[in-house]
Amino acid sequence: MTTGMDLRHARTFVTVAELGTVSRAAVRLHIAQPALSRQIRDLEEELDLKLFDRVGRRLVLTGEGEQLLGDCRALLNCASAIGERAQQLRRGDAGILKVAASPQFIEGTLSGFLDRHT
């Protein structure tokens, strides 16, 4: 089964896992509790896994949820890194410079420049 898990579901899952309650996660994510509960339920249905067990008012990760938590954190970190990279590219702080020249020109003229900027 292929999933279309989006970053919103991953962020919701990680936040609920870290805070332990839907109410606190809803406040942190600035969404209504019913919508957050629905997102968790949708994710569980999509993955065909139970991610949380209810213990009183708290949600505790199942074994499967515990295993997926690290993957979801990594996914969110990757998405954040891509966003930061895009900002660097927009500002011109990063990018690729391609230079075409003869080997003699590169060695004689550009070697000092390249040593300082690579």
In this predicted structure, what is the pLDDT of residue 117?
A: 65
- Which residues have CB under 8 Å from 68's CB, separation 6+? 13, 47, 49, 51
Q: What value does the mean pLDDT of the chain take?
A: 87
% of the chain residues with pLDDT over 70: 89
pLDDT at 1 over 50: no
The DSSP annotation for 30-46 comes to TS-HHHHHHHHHHHHHH
Write out the H or E segment, with its range, that includes residue 60.
strand 58-61
Q: What is the pLDDT of residues 51-93, one digit of tens each?
A: 999 998 899 999 999 999 999 999 999 999 999 888 888 887 7
Q: What distances in angstroms separate CA 31 from CA 25, 40, 42, 65, one per listed residue?
A: 9, 13, 16, 22
